[in-house]
Amino acid sequence: MSFLSRIMVLKSKAHFSAGGDHRTTDGGLNVTFEGTRKRSASRAKSRVAIMIASFGVVYAVIGGRLVQYGLAQPETVSSIGRADTLMASRPDILDRNGEVLATDIRTVSLYAEPHKIVDADEAVERLATVLPDLNAREIYNKLKSDSRFQWLRRQLTPKQQSEILALGIPGIGFRPEKRRFYPGGPTAAHILGHVNIDNRGVAGMERYIDEQGLADLAAIGMTSDAKLEPVRLSIDVRVQNIVRDVVDSGMKNYEAIAAGAVVLDVHTGEVLAMASVPDYDPNRPAEGAEEGWMNRMSNGTFEMGSTFKTFTIAMGLDSGKVTLNDSFDATRPIRIGGFTIKDFHGKRRVLTVPEIFQYSSNIGTAKIADLIGISGHKEFLTRMGLLTRLPTELPEVKSPSQPREWKKINSITISFGHGVSTTPLQTAVAGAALVNGGKLIPPSFLPRSEEEASELASAVVKKSTSDDMRYLLRRNGIAGSGKRALVPGFNVGGKTGTADKVVNGRYASDLNFNAFLAAFPIDNPKYMVLTFIDAPKTGEGGGRTAGSNAAPMVRDIISRSAPLLGVEPKFGEDGSALLVSY
């Protein structure tokens, strides 16, 4: 058969193979034909299998990445925590009457996602139209950074948020936050303290609240946006406003560098009001700088001058070695260790104990201290809490200073307020113990009942000593250096203290630290008031001693706050003020 004939035969057989497989043998050669339908079906199955496998791989990758993101730790994008801790509430702070002193308000903060910013220059320019004080270079660097998150401005106002939204800048967003708000501004700044940008307490009672466990709960994410039980303080915001106004006016009127005051309940230890100026607005703490942040009432120590004579004479009376009927020779100055101790307005005669207190005799006071002795003197001041750190809730409390070794000269100068530095607050606390029957009660910025105070109190002087000291304080208030603290209808007793300030290790005769320690009503004391004024240049009557500036500040505080504290004035039938007699 020719080659052409063989081709014709093969074509004919291939025609019949369309219906199925057909095997043919021709000259020992087997040829297998696969149908067109079968080949198409096989190829379709292969394509489907490939597609299923491809989709399976894609979904596996996506699922794996989701699991990876779910298990991964959140990326740290700023100094603050997660969104849930950002929204964590702080408790409201209330005064003793339920008035709000501090609360949380909702706000938003502006952030950027740099990888989504199209034009950093344009974004900065447009943001500056709403936030003109924006640091353009700093913001530009943030927008051009490799990070995926940058804070641009914390705690915006609603108006600022609305205006920025209207700009329509891609890559810019807002995050909800809480902002602490203090309705009274600087009124109680040093008591309340303030919080940082992340709503964490850093000073005052705000810090105290965090130290009670709030900060730890926030750190582990156990806080929430739920409303917390408010914290009520012992402060009376009405009295607080008066005290702050008086000390601020005193600093300005008497041209001083600082001033302060406290009103203390002598039976419970509750602080009703306390202020120190210069101060600051806790809504804008950064503007206060270090000068305004300094709480001189509890975190500043000073030589309290002649107010310490109150404790020296109480020490003598309580020891039994001195009575109100005793006298001491104040005719001549005392010379010891190269120093001369003399009286500011010396009478140059023998003085009774009441006269030593009334005329503020350094010589007479020094002789009482010498009679008690160095060890007895140091023990008494320690017992009164004047040589140890004051225990209270406020974190900012400084420890007093004293000589490393007490010698006779130290005991003598300390007797009239030089050589030991204490805080004004602890001086007031010790003074309260001398008029409340002899009980030293730690001060509290939280409400406290008399029963609760009694459990914390320690007896430091006899009741008879307390009675004698009330007499001396009242006598000095009427006829001594405390006359400018008198308030008609209210019986005020007190003691002035005028101390030369220490400048570069030496006493400056032209700079004073003045204080006035007072109690009212002195016949049955309820409140202790202490004022101080630092380096005043003037005072009432032209002087610059405590009697001409620190005492009038006490007068102003008592006259304005006594009615609010429920202390009724006493007047005779003729309308004149009644004075206490002993």
Strand 271-277 and strand 231-232: the pairing is unpaired
* Rounded Cα–Cα distance for residues 106 and 578 (Å): 54
CA distances from 133 to 120, 121, 208 (A): 17, 16, 34
Residue 145: per-residue pLDDT: 87
Please check whether residue 476 is in contact with residue 494, taking contact to mean a CB–CB distance below 8 angstroms: yes
- List the one residue out of 581, 322, 258 whose CA is nearest residue 465: 322
Tell me, rounded to whole angstroms, the distance of Cα 401 from its chain centroid. Answer: 23
Task: For 307-343, write each residue's pLDDT tens digit.
Answer: 999 999 999 999 999 999 999 999 999 998 888 899 8
CA atoms within 13 A of residue 122's CA, in its CB half-sphere: 9
279: left (phi over 0), alpha (psi -120 to 50) or beta: beta
Sheet holding 271-277, edge to edge: 271-277, 258-265, 527-534, 506-520, 493-503
Q: What is the C-alpha end-to-end distance of the chain, expressed in Å?
A: 159
- Annotated active-site residue in 306, 466, 481, 561: 306
* Rounded Cα–Cα distance for residues 554 and 517 (Å): 9
- List the one residue out of 261, 291, 258 whose CA is nearest residue 274: 261
Q: The tokens of 71 are what?
A: 């298990």
By percentage, how much of the chain surpasses pLDDT 90?
Answer: 59
- List the one residue out of 268, 236, 86 whose CA is nearest residue 174: 86
Instruction: Give ∠ CA 386-388-392 in degrees, rounded to 5.
Output: 95
Amino acid at 258: A
To which H or E segment does residue 364 belong? Answer: helix 362-372
Residue 37: per-residue pLDDT: 60
Please check whether residue 256 is in contact with residue 278, taking contact to mean a CB–CB distance below 8 angstroms: no
Task: Please state the φ and ψ torsions of residue 158, each to the nearest 5 degrees.
Answer: -55, -35
Any idea of the CA torsion for 437, 442, 445, 450, to the nearest 10 degrees? -40
Task: Give me the tens of pLDDT residue by residue for the chain, a chain 582 residues long.
Answer: 433 343 344 344 444 444 444 444 444 444 444 555 666 666 777 777 777 877 777 777 777 767 665 665 444 333 334 444 444 578 999 999 999 999 998 888 899 999 888 888 888 888 989 999 888 888 888 888 888 899 888 878 888 888 998 988 888 888 887 889 999 999 999 999 999 988 899 999 999 999 987 766 565 555 555 568 899 999 999 999 999 999 999 999 999 999 999 999 999 999 999 999 999 999 999 887 778 899 999 999 999 999 999 999 999 999 999 999 999 999 999 998 888 899 887 788 999 999 999 999 999 999 999 999 999 999 999 999 999 999 999 999 999 999 999 999 999 999 999 999 999 999 999 999 999 999 999 999 999 999 999 999 999 999 999 999 999 999 999 988 899 999 998 999 999 999 988 888 788 888 999 999 999 999 999 999 999 999 999 999 888 999 999 999 999 999 999 999 999 888 755 444 545 444
- List the one residue out of 383, 376, 386, 382 whose CA is nearest residue 408: 376
Long-range contacts of 243-249 (CB under 8 A, 24+ apart): 243/273, 243/274, 243/275, 243/557, 243/561, 244/186, 244/187, 244/188, 244/273, 244/275, 244/277, 244/279, 246/531, 246/553, 246/556, 246/557, 246/560, 247/275, 247/276, 247/277, 247/531, 247/553, 248/275, 248/277
Amino acid at 134: L
Neighbours of 66 (CB within 10 A): 10
DSSP 169-235: -TTEEEEEEEEEE-TTGGGGHHHH--B-TTS-B-SHHHHHHIIIIIHHHHHTT---SSPPPPEEPS-
pTM tops 0.85: no
* Rounded Cα–Cα distance for residues 272 and 448 (Å): 11
* Rounded Cα–Cα distance for residues 273 and 246 (Å): 12
Residues sharing a CB contact under 8 Å with residue 56, sequence separation 6 or more, in sequence order: none
To which H or E segment does residue 106 belong? Answer: strand 100-112
Residue 581: per-residue pLDDT: 47
To which H or E segment does residue 392 belong? Answer: none
Please check whether residue 440 is in contact with residue 431, taking contact to mean a CB–CB distance below 8 angstroms: no
Task: For 118-175, write each residue's pLDDT tens digit.
Answer: 888 888 888 989 999 888 888 888 888 888 899 888 878 888 888 998 988 888 888 8
DSSP 459-524: E-S-HHHHHHHHHHHHHHHHHSTTGGG-BTTB--EEEEEEEEEEETTEEEEEEEEEEEEEEESTTS
Amino acid at 575: G
Active site residue 306: yes
In angstroms and rounded to an integer, the radius of gyration of the C-alpha atoms of the chain is 41
Residue 546 burial class via C-beta count within 10 angstroms: exposed 0-12, middle 13-18, buried 19 and up = buried
CA atoms within 13 A of residue 400's CA, in its CB half-sphere: 26
